[in-house]
Amino acid sequence: MPQSQLYIGLMSGTSADAIDAVLVDLQSTPRLIARHTIPLPVKIRQQVHALSLPGQNEIDRMGALDADLGRLFAQASLELLSNAGVNAAEVAAIGSHGQTIRHRPPDSAEGRFTLQIGDPNLIAELTGITTVADFRRRDMAAGGQGAPLVPAFHRAIFHTRDKDRVIINIGGMANITWLPAQGKTLGFDTGPGNVLMDTWIGEHLGKPYDKNGDWAATGQPYVPLLTALLADPYFTLQAPKSTGRESFNRVWLERNLHKCTPAPSPADIQATLLELTAVTIANSIDLLSQAPKEIFVCGGGAYNAALMKRLKTLLAKDVIASTSALDLDPQWIEAMAFAWLAQQTIHHRPGNICDVTGAKREVILGGIYHAG
């Protein structure tokens, strides 16, 4: 059993724009020691996005990308440690979420499976650090969705017996965690977070994301398009539920744009996509509880001022802030979660919440790839 309680967490989300790496002290209350980000090369990002939908020569393309990403995850870990002045021997384990390229939850017509790549064998070999990876599939084997997994970490660090809380994580997709002062922890994916907004601004303005939501703020939500988007069956599907780029992507958006005449302007479409994210998050929270509560936002969406403003309007009865108000930088929460999940696995403790994923039982998540 490792004596060190230093863990590395690695996260590359739906947008596949960067790898976030954190060094976390998990001796007691999780403490962020160091953080580092490396951008994913454009070619790698394009390959990830291409593999999220069926195409030709998938196995060869996936195999090559699996190795490329494994080397990049190892690079992020080693640079993190170098910057922090910490030796690899001092780290108990790395927790790597990997890069999701296909997620087919139980309610998917295509079947039940989930696939994350970024070869953990390479991570362990190149860093010399035991690596825990492939977290989702054990939960799915136990009958769950395989996602979201971060609510267990949210419960560990954010739950209080004094107040009801909701944690909103807005990455490529958005998910929420319900942390009542008394009662069960719940959580699920609400739908698109930043993924469609990032795709649209990249296509029209050549930018990776809409900083502060500035471009969306120049437009107005186009009601016919918003109505068409909100008609997607996912938004009324009962939890447990999870989703990804397989369902919400450029093809899905284009299919709904064809229903709109006249066509809205690009800025109005961006405003509509922001509204979609805000409305689906707010509607989901209202389904959980109508009573006033504390809401804390993490993920890249916490830095979108226009999105935060809209959420505060839609959830006016609630107190809304980013997790910075709790002294945790919104950008690093998910990576910290996978450091914590790695510790759970190394110490033979379960990492899923059955009421969140729908699994039949709590299970120890992931596979362990020993360094030596």
For residue 241, what are its two tokens?
């539920």
Look at residue 109 in the predicted model and tell me its pLDDT. 63
Sorting pLDDT into bands at 50, 70 and 90, what band is 283?
very high
% of the chain beyond a pLDDT of 70 = 98
Residue 73's pLDDT band, with cuts at 50, 70 and 90, is very high
- Give SS3 for 118: coil
6-146+332-369 domain in CATH 3.40.50.970? no
To which residue do tokens 């369902």 refer?
A: 247
3-state secondary structure of 195: helix
Angle between helices 250-257 and 223-230 (to 10 degrees): 120
- Mean pLDDT, to the nearest integer, of 103-118? 84
Beta strands in the chain (DSSP E): 6-11, 18-25, 31-39, 93-96, 99-104, 113-117, 131-133, 165-170, 173-179, 186-192, 294-298, 319-322, 367-369
- Which CATH number does 150-330 carry? 3.30.420.40
pLDDT in tens, 129-180: 999 999 999 999 999 999 999 999 999 999 999 999 999 999 999 999 999 9
Report field, pTM of the whole predicted structure over 0.85:
yes
CA atoms of 21 and 315, how far apart (whole Å): 32
Over the stretch 253-272, which tens digit does the pLDDT of each residue have? 999 999 988 889 999 999 99
Q: How confident is the model at residue 111 (pLDDT cuts 50, 70, 90)?
A: confident
E-strand stretches of 229-344? 294-298, 319-322
- pLDDT bin (cut points 50, 70, 90) of residue 369 is very high
| pLDDT mean over 282-302 | 95
Which residue intervals of the chain bear CATH 3.30.420.40?
Answer: 6-146+332-369, 150-330
SS3 label, residue 230:
helix
Ramachandran category for residue 19: left, alpha or beta (phi over 0 → left; psi -120 to 50 → alpha): beta
Lowest mean pLDDT among 52-61, 154-163, 276-285: 52-61
